[in-house]
Amino acid sequence: MWGCAPVPDQEATVLKALRLGALALFLLVSPTALASSSEPKSDRHVLHRGAGRPVAQHVESRLRSQIRRDETVIQFFGRHRWLLTDPRFRANAQRELASHRHHLARARERLHRMEQKRRLARRLAVVKVETPQQVICRVFGPYCGEALRVAQCESGFRTDAQNGQYLGLFQMGYEERRLFGHGPTAEEQARAAYRYFAASGRNWTPWSCKP
């Protein structure tokens, strides 16, 4: 009769059909674990062939595709949890789920590192590279002209200039470096010289070269 509830045999048939459908999907899904596990090696091979933005974009695209596949598989097992407990499929299902979770975590981590590197590269690209002269003027402010003439005479604007114990842009000696600081960069040397300059009453008496 139309509209009647299915008899127990019909219910069993429907349930069996649903389970077979889920099993078929599971069997189709299984090979993706092997594909996922091979992708990092393939990506490394691509990277070794050359460097450049197109290669990085290709790797990121592959990682995003891998992430989508792994998430799809994990969601599939979330909707068909009986595969994880049924004795006939439990071992394979648990192995597949663990494999995809592992590859998903690795892909997400790798993609995150690549995105961080890209953001850092963008920041560095906009950082202005200053010459020693520009650094000196920024540090000494209104005394820029005087400081430039002294540094030109003392070191020729070379941060690695050395004359005995005297080092750097402003050729500061051992005792002065101990008191006011020093370093390999123009920034560190200019700031140390400015501290010495300020402590000397903002005149150039301590230096052999004068403005």
User: 205 lies in a domain?
Assistant: no
Q: Are residues 57 and 151 in the same domain?
A: no
Q: pTM score, two decimals?
A: 0.43
Helix runs in the chain, H state only: 8-29, 31-48, 53-79, 82-85, 90-126, 132-140, 144-155, 174-180, 186-199
Shared-domain flag, residues 109 and 15: yes
pLDDT in tens, 6-45: 445 554 454 455 565 655 555 555 554 444 444 444 444 4
Residue 193 domain flag:
yes
Stretches where the chain sits below pLDDT 50 are 1-7, 11-12, 14-15, 32-52
The answer to whether residues 117 and 142 belong to one domain is: no
| Of 98, 126, 154, the domain-final residue | 126
Write down the residue that tokens 């990682």 correspond to: 63
Which residues lie below 8 Å from residue 119, measured CB to CB, with a gap of 6+? none
| Residue 30, in any domain of the structure | yes
Kind plus residue range of the DSSP H or E element containing 167 = strand 166-167
Q: Taking all residues of the chain, what is their mean pLDDT, rounded to a whole number?
A: 82
Query: Is 204 within a domain?
Result: no
Query: Quick one: 120 and 141 in the same domain?
Result: no
Upper half-sphere CA count for residue 148 (Cβ side, 13 Å): 12
Statement to judge: residues 156 and 182 lie in one domain: yes
From 126, 146, 171, the end of a domain falls on 126
Assess if residue 180 is contained within a domain.
yes
pLDDT given for residue 39 in this prediction? 44
Same domain, 136 and 61: no
Residues 157, 173, single domain; the answer is yes
Show the domain range for 120. Answer: 8-126
Res 146: pLDDT: 96
Question: How many structural domains does the chain have?
Answer: 2
* Pairing outcome for strands 166-167 and 162-163: antiparallel
User: Per the domain annotation, does 211 fall within a domain?
Assistant: no
Give the Cα separation of 64 and 48 in Å (integer).
Answer: 20
Q: What is the CATH number of the domain that holds 160?
A: 1.10.530
Same domain as 95, residue 147 = no
